[in-house]
C-alpha cells in the first residue's frame, strides 16, 4: 500500500506590493569605539574640599514665639521656626530630629513678606510640643 499523497497544497506566499524604503545616509562616522580612560590630574583643581552648604545649625535660624506660634504649639502639637531660605522640607525635618531629638509627621513652609522662611513642624502624637518648647527651646 502506497502512502497517500498530500491533498492540500501549500498556499502561495503573498507578494509584497509596496517598495521598501531605503535607509537614509547618515553623516556620522561609524568607526570602532575608542578606549576612554578616567582622568588622572597632576594637581587638584580645588585647594580644599567643599563643606556642606547647610548643616542643622544653619538650617534652623531660631524658634518663633509669637502668639500665633504659641497657639500652634498648644492646639496643633506644632513647633514654629524661622529657617534658612534655601532649606527644603527634608533638611528642616532632619535638623529638628538631630537638634531636638523629636520626630516630625510633616513640615509646612511659607515665605514671609520680609523674605524669611517660616516652617511649621507637626510633631508625632507621642511627643508633646509644649513640653519640647518649654525644656529644649525655652520659649514657654
- Res. 18: pLDDT tops 80: no
Domains of the chain (ranges, CATH numbers): 56-137 (3.30.70.330)
Residue by residue, what is the 3-state secondary structure of the chain? CCCCCCCCCCCCCCCCCCCCCCCCCCCCCCCCCCCCCCCCCCCCCCCCCCCCCCCHHHHEEEECCCHHHHHHHHHHCEEEEEECCCCCHHHHHHHHHHHHCCCEEEEEEEECCCCCEEEEEEECCCCCHHHHHHHHHCCC
Question: What's residue 28's pLDDT?
Answer: 80
pLDDT in tens, 44-81: 999 998 888 899 999 999 999 999 999 999 999 999 99
Tell me the average pLDDT of the chain.
89
pLDDT in tens, 85-115: 999 999 999 999 999 999 999 999 999 999 9
pTM value is 0.66
Amino acid at each position: 500500500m502506497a502512502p497517500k499523497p498530500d491533498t492540500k497544497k501549500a498556499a502561495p506566499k503573498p507578494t509584497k506590493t509596496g517598495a521598501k524604503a531605503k535607509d537614509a545616509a547618515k553623516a556620522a562616522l561609524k568607526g570602532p569605539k575608542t578606549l576612554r580612560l578616567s582622568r588622572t590630574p597632576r594637581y587638584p583643581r580645588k585647594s580644599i574640599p567643599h563643606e556642606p552648604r547647610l548643616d542643622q545649625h544653619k538650617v534652623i535660624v531660631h524658634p518663633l514665639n509669637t502668639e500665633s506660634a504659641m497657639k500652634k504649639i498648644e492646639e496643633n502639637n506644632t513647633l514654629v521656626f524661622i529657617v534658612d531660605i534655601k532649606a527644603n522640607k527634608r533638611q528642616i525635618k532632619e535638623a529638628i530630629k538631630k537638634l531636638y531629638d523629636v520626630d516630625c509627621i510633616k513640615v509646612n513652609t511659607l515665605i514671609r513678606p520680609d523674605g524669611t522662611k517660616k516652617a511649621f513642624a507637626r510633631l508625632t502624637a507621642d511627643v508633646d510640643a509644649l513640653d519640647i518648647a518649654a525644656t529644649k527651646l525655652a520659649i514657654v
